[in-house]
């Protein structure tokens, strides 16, 4: 599933085309994805102007001049692809309609944004912009890891007294929003912390060190256009490249990249997810 860098990469790719544009027509080709679409979604979107395109955790939010906000979740295989941009930022002609093109936005000016999702694990919803923060998918989320609210004090307080593995804690969306398996593995490697280590057994200074490291990993991934492991594509259809910079994720049995280490990257399953780490460099 796309994590924060992939979703942010898509948002940044869509923003030049969608922000300020009016939806000339919206086409909804099925009744549902992961959940049913909201009532009259195509009618409610057609004619609306997209005032702002933002991200919250792993969700893209389009604030409309109708007072509603469109929530988009890419799921496992969802893509939002742009074609026909009249200003030349996206030179792709409109492609032939595909089987899994479930929602299509034709914008005034000629651009088209197509939501394609073969496995249909994505989702869309419409909500009142004024109360968007209390939406069931957003209301319990923790702070954004790239925002000011995510700081050493917040992380120390959120983890205080917990005995769970640090990997599990950082994947808890109530503690910090948007982190997923890939970037937690990479951040813990850079911090030298074993993903299996219990939070209450980690010194406060090491917990605090995770904040700038998490930000650094995410910013590097966004700069690289995210990580393309299976189906992820940017808004212009291009792949992300951060997977070529992984230190541990997916590198089981390969040499640790720490100079002079000599050990191999190991994998362990935690709560049904693979954790990759170096047993020598991470304690």
Catalytic residue list? 2-3, 58, 273
Residue from 179, 63, 77, 217 nearest 131 by CA = 63
Q: Which two tokens stand for residue 42?
A: 């195509």
Residues belonging to the chain: 283
CA distance 188 to 257: 14
Distance from chain centroid for Cα 27? 25
CA distance 7 to 55: 8
Q: Which two tokens stand for residue 198?
A: 């219990």
Whole-angstrom CA distances from 217 to 11, 100, 186, 243 are 18, 33, 7, 12
CA distance 172 to 180: 9
């Amino acid at each position: 599933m796309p994590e924060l860098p992939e979703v942010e990469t898509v948002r940044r790719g869509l923003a030049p085309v969608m922000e300020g544009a009016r939806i000339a027509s919206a086409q909804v080709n099925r009744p549902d994805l992961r959940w049913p679409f909201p009532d009259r979604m195509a009618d409610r979107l057609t004619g609306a102007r997209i005032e702002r395109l933002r991200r919250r955790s792993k969700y893209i939010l389009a604030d409309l001049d109708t007072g509603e906000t469109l929530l988009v979740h890419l799921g496992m295989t969802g893509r939002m692809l742009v074609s026909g941009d009249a200003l030349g930022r996206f030179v792709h002609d409109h492609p032939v309609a595909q089987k899994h093109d479930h929602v299509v936005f034709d914008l005034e000016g000629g651009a088209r944004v197509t939501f394609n999702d073969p496995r249909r694990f994505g989702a869309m919803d419409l909500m009142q912009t004024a109360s968007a923060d209390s939406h069931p998918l957003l209301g319990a989320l923790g702070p954004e890891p790239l925002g000011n609210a995510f700081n050493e004090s917040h992380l120390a307080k959120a983890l205080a007294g917990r005995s769970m593995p640090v990997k599990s804690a950082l994947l808890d969306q109530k503690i910090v929003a948007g982190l997923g398996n890939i970037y937690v593995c990479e951040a813990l490697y850079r911090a030298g912390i074993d993903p299996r280590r219990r939070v209450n057994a980690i010194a406060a200074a090491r917990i605090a060190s995770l904040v700038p490291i998490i930000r650094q990993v995410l910013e590097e991934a966004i700069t690289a256009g995210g990580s393309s492991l299976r189906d992820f594509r940017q808004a212009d259809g291009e792949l992300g490249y951060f997977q070529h910079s992984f230190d541990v994720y997916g590198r089981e049995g390969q040499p640790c990249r720490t100079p002079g280490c000599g050990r191999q990257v190991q994998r362990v399953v935690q709560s049904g997810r693979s954790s990759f780490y170096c047993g020598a460099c991470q304690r």
